[in-house]
Structure 1
Amino acid sequence: MPAEYEKFRNLSPFELKDLLIQLASGRAQHTMLDAGRGNPNFLATTPRQGFFQLGLFATAESELSFSYMAEGVGGLPRRDGIEERFNAFVAAHKDEPGVAFLRRALSYVRDQLGLSADGFLQEVVAGILGCDYPTPPRMLKYAEKIVRHYLIREMAGGAMPEATTDLFALEGGTAAISYIFASLRENGLIKPGDKAAIGMPVFTPYVEIPELRDYQLQEVAINAAPECGWQYPDSELDKLLDPAVKVFLVVNPSNPPSVKINDAGLARIAEIVKTKRPDLIIVTDDVYGTFADNFRSLYSICPHNTVLVYSFSKYFGSTGWRLGVVATHVQNVLDRALAALPEDEKQALDKRYASLTPDVRGLKFIDRLVADSRSVALNHTAGLSTPQQVQMTLFSLFALMDGRDAYKAALKNLLHRRELALYRDLGVSAPDDAGSTHYYTLIDMAKVATQLYGTRFARWLITRVDYETILFRIAEETGVVLLPGIGFAVRRPSARASLANLNEYQYASIGTALRRMADEYYARYKQEKGAEAPEASVAPSPKPKGADPING
């Protein structure tokens, strides 16, 4: 890497992104195209319309109290008669956006989930007003039931009894991982020197967190194989047989390969847990699961050993809302491990959580997680804000009521078209890994170079050019921002492009810019080689979907 870029080598790709954006924005002759961070440029409008209409109804409900005051003072909503007043509101505003959705949502809650209409309405009305502390702190009563129904359908195909799952609503997936690792440490379930297995490639912070002084864990890489469609070979999964591995952290579908663990991989992990490692703690981040066909979470395969993390951020386009949940089975390895701690450690934990309950030893891990999120002493003010929980509930109802999965199909088609446009204008076939979500794509530089101009050129490119330098050149000369694959523990020279945050024609422009730079390097290669005949002078036409994939 040239000297001017060397100082940035150790930056997280998400910090490097800001530098690349500065370079990409610095030239007037091109438009900056940021395909770095995966913030989607699409979002679900219907449940948002419902949210704002519900806010108007809730404000009117509040005004039923203190209505004699002219100063804009409202009171707490009343349950008595709330369904009748809601129906009157719906009838009066039936043609306004979001109102029909609210009417259908109440019917679904009452008629399909069997929940109290009055109770649900009082919870969401008070919740959207934000007029009381989250109660229970872990999650609102009806919100938990509805979100749990959504999660079990999306993560387990509806094949698990819902009553066996506990949820904790919190501020997105990043908060979930932070809280989980902190509680594992505070409760003695991980200790410095323990091993943490991490499915690679992976979202960069998941590599960085275990190394922090807070945890000092030894990382064990469980490497997915690009030649196997980014699945984990048995030889890699067998690393989990080591009893020193206390926790297995995995993103499924993966980031950045965007491929779900296939049935064989799920079965192998389940077999390891059942026969050799019943003590293994699995933490799975399944934020991209809703983009995959027939998705199955590890939580549905190994429910007693798995902590499920799910964020609403990508699928509903709600990164700014910070909406996520942690799910654990009511009978789980974490609670068993707490019961098996040495007596001196139990006594220390008795003191830590003494302000919460006289029966600390009966306190479940997920409830300790809630308390630890507020340093225990502030447990009474724990919990995700109630307006956030209402929006989360409406997102869940929107998906549950979409019987034809029309919203899901539209997003999947949108992402796939963007990917095809990028690779079409780059001049190579698009990846087609089984189980791909197409949310990200890894542009494998060696494979792209081989498809364009042959193996000798690819070998020359990889040995002569630092691929991170190429990313700086791409940003500065074309305005395109990509992130280095090595920052996500990808072991091949590659670049990650998010397919979620630009429009189709812009991905075509990215493909054109990358092809132009590849042509420049090829011209340099021919000049250096002189009379040596190249293998190819022009790339073949892109193959249709289903052709040989680029596993990058």
Structure 2
Amino acid sequence: MTDNNISQFENLSPFELKDKLIDAAKSVPDRLLLDAGRGNPNFLATLPRRAFLRLGDFAIEEAERAYSYLDAGFGGIPNGQGMVERFDTFARDNSNTVGISFLQRAMSYAQDRLGINKQDFLHEFVLAFLGCNYPVPPRMLTHAETIVKEYICREMYGSMPLSQDFDLFATEGGTASMTYSFHTLFTNGLLAKGDKIALMTPIFTPYLEIPELEEYELDVVEVRLNEETWQLDDSEVDKLADPAIKLLCVVNPANPASVRLSNESLDKIARLVENKRQDLFIITDDVYGTFSDDFISLFAKCSYNTMCVYSFSKYFGATGWRLGTTAIHHKNVFDDAIQSLPESKLKSLDQRYQTLLPNPRELRFIDRMVADSRNVALNHTAGLSLPQQVQMALFSLSCLMDSAEVYKSACKRIIRERYNTLYKNIGVIPEHSDESVDYYTLLDLDILGVKMYGQEFVDWFKTNNKGKGFLFRLAEQTGVILLPGKGFDVIHGSARVSLANLTHYEYELIGRETRKVLDEYYTDYLESKK
């Protein structure tokens, strides 16, 4: 493909560009397609899924106890009376079935560690699996919230003192959390068109694209990570001292760099917020935090200011389940900012939410998100599907009960082995820091080029704009699909490789094929010097 043809795709999102690269890769029939462009993992948590199915078997039996005199296939809503005893019998009769012991341990754990009565736990989960009622409360089921809150607390606070003084809103994946949060910030006057927001870049592409939408038209200030360390320099943090900046959006660990913010970087932000910007809104998207060692979220460091978005999609291999949460502390900047709005705006909001509370001003920001997700009028039918909430809680319990962190160790090991394999087959020594997560890796063409061929080659590569066609040449000649770092606002010429969605052998091939194409560029460079 010529440079002129490639130019037409310059403004595409990297995820849309991926489809064009796939088309280029398919130009050779029957060739193996090596698509490392998207972060959908090819591993998943099986035990909590088996537990979900076994819970379903029991729930159906409970439903069939009612109206049993009618034709088969007709059941009723279980009332819960005697349910624990019947489950014990069910468990004994199915003791060899994988998933049953998990449910028994989960009930025991919930009662002993979380104070949830077994009867209440089982009744809520049986009804939720059956999906026979509307979500009540609509924000999240009571016991499901307690369980997921414990999981979020354990994963986001690291070595810091734990706190459960926050609420959760169960959403249709992390993407829904992003959508709902921006919508409610605007609806409640906490953001307005033309306002300044800060993005910690490079960042997941939608955070770059959402502020540009017609309904938002936000003025973006970039707080750039140092692309050598992927940490924050003081000069970048100081940008947040500008009182005109209303919101900071963070993805931590970073996407595409897949490096977590160090304690030093977190402390820099926390000090600035505490000393100069106690009014700053922060959204931290921590979907990859569970792959990190010793992860601490801004949600823990700046609890008053920070809303946490977490998705279960990557860690549990559950992108199709659409499971996410929004977490906000009880004492938070969002609620306080609403109370400080001009009286005219408060009266307008009173009218918007007047059908929900006698005094609408008591409605918290997180509950406004729930209402706004259904245009307020349908607040009573809001909430994530109840079977989805069950699976989310079972995912959470699987990690809470895994005291040896067997699953977590396996997740980390598989992606880090792929990381090492990729770089060894490219022909360079893999580097790793304490903050590295390795769910993705950026092939920095500047760094790789210097290591393999020298600075003069890199200068030639950049001067002649060779990076423009690199991904298409790679796709057309080898069938390898990578995403451009530029699409995530990376400055240096680079390509993002997902280390989650292919086999170990396929990463060997990607490494070799990438080296092969780079060698061809080097040959072109040598020819140009003759």
The corresponding residue for 1:542 is none
1:333 maps to 2:343: no
SS of residue in 1 equivalent to 2:358: coil
Cα distance between partner residues in 1 of 2:194 and 2:89: 62
Matched with 1:492 is 492
Instruction: Specify the code of the residue in structure 1 equivalent to 2:315.
Output: Y
% identity of equivalent residues: 52
* One-letter amino acid of the structure 1 residue matched with residue 184 of structure 2: S
Return the alpha-carbon distance in structure 2 between the equivalents of residues 214 and 234 of structure 1. Answer: 33
Q: What are the residue-to-residue correspondences of 1:365-404 with 2, within 5 Å?
A: 365-404=365-404
Find the aligned partners of 1:82 and 1:438 in 2 and give their Cα distance: 45
Contact 2:371 2:378 (8 Å CA) reproduced: yes
SS of residue matched to 2:501: coil
The answer to whether residue 119 in structure 2 is matched with residue 118 in structure 1 is yes
Matches within 5 A, 1:269-308: 269-308=269-308
Partner of 1:468: 468
> Normalising by structure 2, what TM-score?
0.98
Who is 2:21 aligned against? Answer: 20
1:241 corresponds in structure 2 to 241
- Measure the CA separation in 2 of the matches of 1:230 and 1:203: 14
Residue in structure 1 matched with residue 45 of structure 2 by the alignment: 44
Shift of 1:158: 7.3
Aligned counterparts, 1:541-552, within 5 A: none
**Do the aligned partners of residues 95 and 468 (structure 1) sit closer, same or farther apart at CA in structure 2, a change above 3 Å counting?**
farther
Output the amino acid matched with 2:20: L
Aligned equivalent of 1:174: 175
State yes or no: 1:251 paired with 2:251.
yes
Query: Is contact 1:172-1:322 (8 Å) kept?
Result: yes
Which residue is 1:545 aligned to?
none
Look up the SS of the partner of 2:284 in the other structure. Answer: strand
> How far 1:460 sits from its partner (Å)?
1.0
Mapped contact 1:231–1:262 kept (Cα < 8 A): yes
2:457 match: 457
The one-letter amino acid of 2:445's match is M
SS of the residue corresponding to residue 168 of structure 2 reads: strand
Deviation, 1:226, is 1.8
Give the SS at the match of 2:367: helix
Counterpart in 2 of 1:165? 166
The 3-state SS of whatever aligns with 1:350 is helix
Q: Residues 52-71 of structure 1: matches in 2 within 5 Å? A: 52-71=53-72
Structure 1 residue 434 displacement after superposition: 3.0
Distance in 2 between residues matched to 1:381 and 1:519, nearest whole Å? 59
Structure 2 matches for 1:480-519, cutoff 5 A? 480-519=480-519
CA contact (8 A) 2:33 2:479 kept: yes
Cα displacement (A) at 1:159: 4.4
**Which residue is equivalent to 2:5?**
4
- Taking the aligned partners of 1:156 and 1:309, their CA distance within structure 2 comes to 14
Aligned-residue offset at 1:72: 1.1
Alignment of 1:40-439 (within 5 A): 40-157=41-158, 159=160, 162-227=163-228, 229-439=229-439
1:519 deviates by 1.2
Q: Is the 8 A contact 1:149 1:162 kept in 2?
A: no
Give the ranges of 4+ consecutive aligned residues of structure 1 lying more than 2 Å apart after TM superposition.
Answer: 157-163
Which residue of structure 2 aligns with residue 520 of structure 1?
A: 520
- Whether the aligned pair in 1 keeps the contact of 2:293 and 2:434 (CA below 8 Å) is no
SS at structure 2 position matched to 1:395 = helix
Distance 1:203 1:491 in 2: 14
Relative to the length of structure 1, the TM-score reads: 0.94
Choose 242-251 or 151-160, whichever is displaced more. 151-160
CA distance in 1, matches of 2:143, 2:161: 19
Instruction: For 1:51, give the aligned amino acid.
Output: F
Alignment partners' CA distance in 1, 2:475 and 2:378: 46
Partners of 2:114 and 2:468 lie apart in 1 by 52
Q: Distance between the aligned counterparts of 2:512 and 2:359, measured in 1?
A: 64
What amino acid sits opposite 2:288 in the alignment?
Answer: Y
Measure, in 1, the Cα distance between the counterparts of 2:226 and 2:215: 31
Query: Matched residue of 2:319: which SS?
Result: coil
Post-superposition Cα deviations, 1:401-444, rounded to whole Å, max 9, x if no partner, equal: 00011101111010011011111110012231331111000000
Q: Partner amino acid for 1:363?
A: L
Distance 1:91 1:24 in 2: 54
- Please, which moves more after superposition, 426-435 or 68-77? 426-435
Structure 1 stretch displaced more, 140-149 or 512-521: 512-521
How many Å separate the matches in 2 of 1:316 and 1:418? 18
Tell me, in whole angstroms, the C-alpha distance in 1 between the residues paired with 2:327 and 2:169: 7
| C-alpha deviation, 1:26, in angstroms | 2.6
Give how far 1:163 is off: 4.0
Change (3 A) 1:29 1:462: farther
Aligned residues: 529
Deviations 1:112-154 (A, max 9, x none): 2221110010010000110000000000000000000000000
Aligned residue type for 1:492: H
Q: CA deviation at 1:338?
A: 0.5
Per-residue deviation, 1:5: 1.5
Contact 2:168 2:327 in 1 (8 A): yes
Q: Which moved more, 1:481-490 or 1:106-115?
A: 106-115
Deviations 1:155-188 (A, max 9, x none): 0137455441111001011000100000000000
Q: Which amino acid aligns with 1:42?
A: F
* 2:310 aligned partner, one-letter code: Y
Question: 1:201 and 1:327, CA in 2 relative to 1: closer, same or farther beyond 3 A?
Answer: same
Aligned to 1:549: none
Q: Which moved more, 1:502-511 or 1:71-80?
A: 71-80
Separation in structure 2 between the aligned mates of residue 111 and residue 442 of structure 1, nearest angstrom: 44
Structure 2 counterpart of 1:143, which letter? Answer: A
Question: SS of the counterpart of 2:223?
Answer: strand
Counterpart CA distance in 2 for 1:162 and 1:275 is 23
Deviation at 1:476, TM superposition (A): 1.0
SS across alignment from 1:226: coil
Distance (Å, rounded) in 2 between the aligned partners of 1:159 and 1:484: 36
- After superposition, the CA RMSD in angstroms is 1.1
The 2-side partners of 1:464 and 1:61 are apart by 70
**SS of residue in 2 equivalent to 1:73:** coil
Partners of 1:162 and 1:74 in 2: CA distance: 42
Question: Taking structure 1 as reference, are residues 262 and 163 closer, same or farther at Cα in structure 2, changes over 3 Å only?
Answer: closer
**Which amino acid counterpart does residue 129 of structure 2 have in structure 1?**
I
The Cα shift of 1:29 comes to 5.8
CA contact (8 A) 1:152 1:159 kept: no
Q: In the aligned structure 2, how far is the partner of 1:200 from the partner of 1:163?
A: 30
Checking the alignment, whether the CA contact within 8 Å between 1:148 and 1:162 is kept in structure 2 is no
The corresponding residue for 1:541 is none
Q: Which runs of 5+ in 2 are unaligned?
A: none
Distance across 1 between alignment mates of 2:140 and 2:260: 29
Q: Secondary structure at the match of 1:185?
A: helix
Letter in 2 for 1:242: D
Q: Deviations over 1:187-214 (max 9, x none)?
A: 0000111111001010001011011111
Give me the whole-angstrom Cα distance separating, in 2, the residues matched to 1:157 and 1:143: 22
